[in-house]
Amino acid sequence: MTHNTPLSPRPVRRLSEVRRRVMSTARLRAHGISTAELDEQCRPGGPWRQILPGIVLLHPGPPTSEERLHAALLYAARESAAGMPGVPSQPNADEPHRPVYKEAMITGLAALALYGFASAPPLTSLDRIDVLVPRLRRLRTTGYVRILRTPALPTPRQVTGLPVAPVARALADAVAELTEGGAVRRLLTEAVRAGHCEPAAVVRELTQAKLLSRPHVVDAVDSLVAEGRAVAEDHLYRMVREHGLPDPVWNVDLRLPGGPHLGGVDAYWPEQAVAVELDTRAPRQDDDALWSEYARKREHLERLGITVVHLTPRKLRHALEQQAAVVRTALMASNDREPAAYVLVLPR
């Protein structure tokens, strides 16, 4: 058999349950259903009905949430080598049929509901399902499916067997349609508090979507950054407590006696002259200038003999033990360094 040899039609009974309930007209024809029979089955009051262009629901009742999602992806997916959307060119006959949706993924509020966001409406209450496709695809918004386009399609995550946009991208697509500041703030806060993604990733997507010109989004981002810092600080406290590090002084300003202010740090060990600084910056238009300020402060402190350990919320979330080892190494190395300059440690 060559790759051009047509595949024998697969009996409908051998398809997975959802695939027996929602199918494309192309797939139905591959199973031997003629156009005339299809029209007869989809007549008013008939046992089937067309719920999207080229997509048929194989029962007369309303579609379930799962059926609506699969139908939306079937509608938007690029045709496979077999000539049918959502169908791999060489399915394994020994395994249940699993649809492969090429160049299409669920995004927006439907994606957040699939991720389990408590602040997102349930799938059953959504009038529309957003589907993300490449910019050059010739598709139109129709029925309950809204087509969103992007120059570069992100790598989807598989959630309940469906391709779903990464959380940060799904958030940006959802926020683009929301006008109520409280709803936006709840979604962004939950994304960080529940560990779905980092604040920087969310703000990056919002910036690319040109949403930071909207006042209610800016207000929500300020809350997001504050939430991200609070979560990162909790991880920092836990790192010190659980990994046997000596107690530092927390959230202090450093100043030369009679001299200039050196800047604030999140944790400081005066005897070892080691400081920890959390990088909770959100990428905005002035990010380069802010990073330059961070770099200048670090260089100044290190010229005075103070070791600065730079930690990110992501590192603290995913590699806490490793970050504790980094701080412990800096503390132990203080015995091998020249004494640091004397600095005043003041509450911040």
Six token digits for residue 329? 């190494």
Decide: helix, strand or coil at residue 143.
Answer: coil
Residue type, 220: A
Can you give the pLDDT at residue 261?
Answer: 87
| CA 196/CA 314 separation, integer angstroms | 11
Cβ neighbours of residue 78 closer than 8 Å, sequence gap 6 or more: 85, 102, 103, 104, 137
Decide: helix, strand or coil at residue 238.
Answer: helix
Can you give the pLDDT at residue 289?
Answer: 57
b/e map 209-242, b = 16+ CB within 10 Å: bebbebebbeebbebbbebbbebbbebbeebbee
Exposure on the CB side of residue 104, measured as CA atoms within 13 A: 29
From residue 33, how far is each of 26, 57, 90 by CA, in Å?
9, 14, 21
Ranges of the chain whose pLDDT falls below 50 = 1-16, 81-82, 88-97, 285-286
Set out the domains of the chain in order of their start, with CATH numbers.
Answer: 1-100 (no CATH), 103-231 (no CATH), 243-347 (3.40.960)
Q: What's the whole-model pTM score?
A: 0.75
Six token digits for residue 232? 């990162």
